[in-house]
Chains A and B, each alone.
Chain A
């Protein structure tokens, strides 16, 4: 199942994790370039706290869009939420998280 901005996620294990765990390194490098085009302060290592907190905020209630917005506000970045969708697809594909609401019918954004 492909995630959308309206998807609601549930973690399949509690405790520490990261939203970048399911995405191959070359794709992360490419994703950071897209993020950097939106906010020039982004570097590769920005993924580390953002990935950590995205994971921590998965609670079975908030949507992907709400979490992406919260993560950006926490660390002072200005990114469109759809840039987090590849990470969500990665953790869903890896089995670390599951989509429990809104499914794949929502807007994936531009």
Chain B
């Protein structure tokens, strides 16, 4: 590619540095960043300094309490928490170390309470998975340390931990590993991974601590328990305290409608240390802000009509606090791009970069519009016979709405809120997720695509809204055809293997419902481009939206009829009727 930009996408592709985002990620991962901890504040301050160094002037922080009492959104905000160290050892029968935060930085569970000065010594009790009443029957857990075994259900950890604490347990060890996937991330194939756990003790109601431990350590404890009583010594140092969070907001002011905005949102907090997945989000946002600000200031890019805002928060809590303080602003937020693991090395971490769609509960243009940007944004590979950046070495694809991060909070208020994140994740929230597991090419792909989408939405006017309506309708129409094709192929495929228990009538009925649902959802998604008009009158837009809606419903009916005809003619693997 030459250095002359043909359009906005080329500009971002030329300017945005994945290496710079990766370096910022590495800097952030130096800090242990639970809510309210000194490391979290240091990471946020580092981000603020980088934004200012990049020339952004409008950078401001707003504090909110983390006191276990102040209500924001769905309930009270938790206490702040800071880890300092944790060592658990077997005292008898065979002395040895179980876990140590110095070598497994992820081991100490959030909202643990410290042990007394000098540590505590207590008997270990194996609760199995801790999911059944029988696991607790006949055992006095008061003051003891319990071992809770891994299941495939992350919710099982919270349930068992709460029950154990309610039964008086003072300490908890667990070899839980969340979100396993074979063959790479299972308890057996990733044995030394120590999962970051969150203790259901956000308001400090229990005097207890918890540590994740490696699988071999847990197995050794189980073996020892089979032979007789096991005594442990634990020295847990941490603070559970009334502190505060900060919402750091950087704004690039819009030229015509500055009160309207497009948001980027990521968290400077992190499940554990180093936690490069979380750090990647704010790091890429800093890079996007630097590029966008620089291009505008140098006059290479027109200032967008609306403001672009970069919100750096504690995951979940910051959004709740921000919305509590700015409830009346939400109607003017045209989209919020939420970032999580936007830089994962796809080979090392077995990952794919994903665009998690905004949910159907508030149909939006954002999903199909962004899919279009993914297609047309510049990439890092070229066709062998042309100098054109149209082949993507980085896998970047779509997935359904997934309430992983702050996207679910903004989406619940109807703000179009896609989440950009990598998944699967070999080292998700374990001690192994270091910054050298990120890849500048992934940062660049995520950054160029979202920066382009955000800029276009921020600058969108009437003609753009009409164009977006056309694009959403075109993709919706193709999707209807796909639904029908999938049903017809399912029948044909089943017939080739002798029917395989498929009920053709049921397949047909399901496809019919799916088509009707998709047509109505996408009719509303097309109509949502009106939110970009900001009171402008656009001749022909309402007619175009209505025509698109009618066409989608008509196409759905025709597609459903095609599936019904295929089902009627289906003979379950025998002769066609």
Contact = CB atoms under 8 A, between A and B. Distances in A.
Q: Are A and B associated in one complex?
A: yes
Contacts of B359: 52-53, 56, 74
A102 interface: no
A28 B359 CA distance: 23
20 contacts: A14-B413, A15-B323, A16-B409, A16-B412, A17-B74, A25-B131, A25-B155, A25-B159, A26-B131, A45-B154, A49-B403, A53-B359, A53-B361, A56-B411, A69-B513, A70-B360, A73-B513, A73-B514, A74-B359, A75-B400
A17 B412 contact: yes
B152 interface: yes
A8 interface: no
Nearest to A26: B131
A44 B74 CA distance: 23
Contacts of A53: 359-361, 401
Interface of B: 73-74, 131, 152-156, 158-159, 179, 323, 359-362, 400-403, 408-409, 411-413, 510, 513-514, 517-518
B409 A15 contact: yes
Nearest to A54: B361
Contacts of B179: 45
Report the contact-size class of chain A (Cβ under 8 Å from the partner).
Answer: 20 to 34
Contacts of B413: 14-15
10 shortest interchain CB distances as A-B pairs: A56-B361, A16-B412, A25-B159, A44-B153, A52-B403, A74-B360, A73-B517, A57-B361, A16-B409, A15-B412
A45 B153 CA distance: 7
A93 B413 CA distance: 24
Interface of A: 13-17, 25-26, 28-29, 43-45, 48-49, 52-53, 55-57, 69-70, 73-76, 78
Contacts, number: 69
A27 B557 CA distance: 40
A56 B415 CA distance: 12
A101 to B, nearest CB: 19
A57 B152 CA distance: 28
B361 A16 contact: no
Name, among B131, B154, B412, the residue most crowded by chain A CB atoms within 10 Å (CB to CB): B412
A14 B415 CA distance: 14
Contacts of A76: 400
Contact of A16 (B73, B154, B400): B73
Contacts of B412: 14-17, 55-56
B485 to A, nearest CB: 15
B406 to A, nearest CB: 10
Contacts of A28: 155
Contacts of A73: 513-514, 517-518
B152 A44 contact: yes
Nearest to A16: B412
B512 to A, nearest CB: 11
Contact of A78 (B154, B361, B403, B510): B510
Nearest to B324: A15
B131 A29 contact: yes
Nearest to B520: A70
Given A49-B400, A53-B401, A74-B400, A16 B155 contact: no
A61 B414 CA distance: 17
A56 B156 CA distance: 24
B514 A74 contact: no
B402 A49 contact: yes
Contacts of B510: 78
Contacts of B74: 13, 15-17
A48 B323 contact: no
Nearest to B517: A73
